[in-house]
Amino acid sequence: MVAVAARGRRLEAAVAEQAQESASRPAIQSLAFGTVRWFTELEAILDRLLDRPGAPLEREVRALALVGLYQLAHGATPPHAAVSETVEAARALGRPRAAGLLNALLRRFQREREAILAAAHVSRAARLAHPEWLLAAFERDWPAHWEQIAAASNAEPPMWLRVNARRATRDEYRARLAAAGMDAEPCGFAPQALLLAQPVDVARLPGFADGDVSVQDAAAQLAAFFVAPADGMRVLDACAAPGGKACHLLEAFPGISELVALDADPSRVERISSNLSRLGLPARVLTGDAARPAGWWDGRAFERILLDVPCSGTGVIRRHPDIKLLRRPDDIPRFATSQAGLLASAFGLLAPGGRLVYASCSVLAAENGAVVRAFLAANPQAVDATESARLLLPGAAPLVDTGTGCALPSGAADADGFYYACLEKRA
């Protein structure tokens, strides 16, 4: 939490650095993710427990207090163990005086829990465990769904699977899961998707190492069916890392003549190649910036382009709760400017009559409909074909019409928040 809140580190990287290959890593990760998920509420609680609200505490001591409060307020640890382990952690850090303070704070929360929660929850930000600017953006962009989005963003993420259609049907793989003692339910709108009743390590999934199945949220699995390439088409996945959508396209549409998987980050390009290799799928993998095609493009147009733009990630906060701490209001216009540039550049690579799918895992209109509307207004060659593409999806997804494009609000059908718009180039 110190690394995330005070130093701007990504939570996953901070946990990996601290836990490394330790056997205690799952427990460390659970505590870290849970505390960051509820950080805004826990900070408000801590301020009400201190004699002087806002009083400075050493960073490590404050982090320990928040971890202890998380366990008491939301965790599964027995209360006595949560208190004693937090106190012992302070002693282990060489802070015996802090141990006494932490013991007093946590025991007071146990005694006065309801009154302290009521006082903290006067603040909407504390009650819903999100920064106020983000709640205001949810409310503005999703007046009928904003509370659902906030609640879904605070939930533990489910584990969705994507069955490799080249290897087996969804029902066949579901039977393999059942034989291995794992329950899973099919998705009504993503034909290769299964929702596990309980998340498991991927090593336990039958055939994972052989490429029979991958982990991918149901909302992200819609991308391949919005792209919907016909046999013989040349396809570009313009921001492809880590490669899940590129792999799904190749699994679901084996008649693709060539798929180019592009990403600007060399380290992330390695993950694309690794995923393709595990699944035994062919693709041309390139390192390059979709906004600067001169460095990698061979001049041949693509009939289909998937542009899954870098974004705020506000639709996947439940998977990356540090987004609530790391993002700032002025990040959003910066993302939108970058997204507009990527869209303009990628559309230039599209063949006449072709389709570009603009996608993001943001739920903020400034990064989605606003970007696409501005592009449509400035480019008479571009036509919004989202509705016709949506009608041909293999199932009835709980998509919401956003005026330009469509979106899943976070938590709809237990899926992540996602946005899609289909733009076609006049022939």
Q: Is 161 helix (H, G, I), strand (E, B) or coil?
A: strand
Q: What is the CB neighbour count within 10 angstroms for residue 387?
A: 11
Element holding 359 (H helix, E strand): strand 350-360
At 358 the three-state DSSP class reads strand
The DSSP H or E segment spanning 178 is helix 170-179
- Alpha-carbon gap, residue 410 to 426, rounded angstroms: 33
Question: CB-side exposure of 365: number of CA atoms within 13 Å?
Answer: 17
Q: How far apart are CA 377 and CA 168, in angstroms?
A: 44
d(CA 39, CA 84): 21
- Please state, in angstroms and rounded to a whole number, the distance separating the CA atoms of residues 142 and 151: 13
SS3 237: strand
Active-site annotation holds for 361: yes
In 147-299, beta strands by DSSP E: 160-163, 184-186, 193-196, 213-215, 234-237, 258-263, 284-287
Contact 241, 268 (CB under 8 A): yes
> Please, which residues have CB within 8 angstroms of residue 130's CB and are 6 or more apart in sequence?
40, 138, 150, 153, 154, 324
Choose the catalytic residue: 187, 239, 311, 361: 361
SS3 293: helix
Beta strands in 255-309 (DSSP E): 258-263, 284-287, 302-308
Say if CB 283 and CB 256 are below 8 A apart.
no
Please list the active-site residues: 361
